[in-house]
Amino acid sequence: MTKNPKQKMAKAVGINHVALEVGDIDEALAFYGGFIDFKLESRSQTAAFIYFGDQFINFALGRTQAPDGARHFGIVVDDKDLARETLEGMGIKFLDGRFLDFLDPWGNRVEIVTYAKIQYTKADHVLKGMGLGNLTKTEAALAELRKKNMVP
């Protein structure tokens, strides 16, 4: 598909949420609540919405497909080592590769990443509201952002 250079287009701002199909809403809340802190915004028999500040995951009842291979989503955490230890304590087996990836009980592939080491950034007021006002970026992450003129 060729983009018309004169055509005005909406700019993507970010990802608001991810919807995951799961086999059981209560089990999904217990599983994800076993290794990450979140706010349960709402819940029904067929869905639940868990928030991380200004973004969320929507658990939807009805996973029927095979486990994910390369398709995945990343959860950004303040402490990747703590997440790894907690997941290991839950008996989670990590997938081969250089990333901290695993399959949830329904075959959704999850990658855990550290806030400090990636370009992804939350506004200071959102971090403060989440009780994470002290998070900083590594020099490598800041360099990536500088290349894109996204930090001074």
> Is residue 90, in this structure, part of any structural domain at all?
yes
- Taking the whole predicted model, whether its pTM rises above 0.95 is answered as no
Asked if residue 103 is part of any domain, the answer here is: yes
Cα separation, 34 vs 50, in Å, equals 13
Residue 125 lies in a domain: yes
Q: What is the pLDDT of residues 63-122, one digit of tens each?
A: 999 999 999 999 999 999 999 999 999 999 999 999 999 999 999 999 999 999 999 999
Return d(Cα 31, Cα 2) in angstroms, integer: 43
Contact partners, residue 45, CB within 8 Å, separation at least 6: 25, 61
Mean pLDDT over 35-58 rounds to 96
Report the domain count for the chain: 1
- Cα–Cα nearest to 57, from 27, 86, 29: 29
pLDDT at 87: 98
In a domain, 4, yes or no: no
State the CATH number of the domain containing residue 23: 3.10.180.10
* Domain membership flag for residue 2: no
